[in-house]
Chain A
Amino acid sequence: MTTTLFTLSKSWLESSWLFEQLGFAAAGDSILLLQDAVLALQSPISLASFVAKCDANSISVYALAEDCQLRGVENQYDSIKLASYNDFVNLVGQHSKQVAW
């Protein structure tokens, strides 16, 4: 089965439509939050429904640790895994393609 890595890089306030659509990801796909997209991790409310829908649809969610650290963002979500740049490279390798939203 071919799977896709979706990277989201804009703040959820600017791209709420995309978060609502789970970036058009499907079961087996992964979503990696980058740049301003990691800002949403600070509030336990902002991504609650997004994370719940991803869990229900077997979509893995990651956030780039370095982008969180840089912004002082503290991850409030147990099901969002922090990923290093090495993990990012591995994620790219594990999926057949990447879609950069």
Chain B
Amino acid sequence: MKILYVFSAGPYSNARGQEGLDAMLMGANFDLEVAALFLHDGVFQLKSGQDANGSELKEFTKTYMALSDFGINDIYVHDQSLVARGLDQDKLMINTKMLDGKAISDLIKQHDRVFVF
């Protein structure tokens, strides 16, 4: 079973990133083939330089840096979403594969289930 987890919201103002991350790690623990796709404001989940010091919030996004330890190596980012937000691969905390809209259509086709967070 191949599952695609889609992250479409930025971190901290809501729990969608944390929930998506929890669900994805759970999937990986159950030996499902897991991939992550970051698009729209979701690309900010991976922005390096996040600093929760002095706030009440937990910097849960550090967990993204451990994804490969959980066997999650297929990490995709929508190229247009990244560019539109002044970002590029160098500003992300982990290595990702860039996809255009057509490639994302194909990616969705290749997965049995798609969960949007």
Contact = CB atoms under 8 A, between A and B. Distances in A.
Chain A bound to chain B:
yes
- The secondary-structure label for the interface of chain B is helix
Interface in B38-91: 40, 81
Nearest to A6: B108
Contacts of A100: 116
Q: Which 3 A-B pairs have the closest CB atoms?
A: A26-B105, A99-B114, A24-B104
Contacts of A24: 101, 104-105, 108
Which of A4, A24, A101 has the largest number of chain B CB atoms within 10 A?
Answer: A24
Interface residues of A, number: 12
A2 interface: yes
Contacts of B40: 17-18
B97 interface: no
6 contacts: A18-B40, A21-B101, A26-B105, A99-B116, A100-B116, A101-B116
Given A17-B40, A21-B101, A4 B109 contact: yes
A4 B108 contact: yes
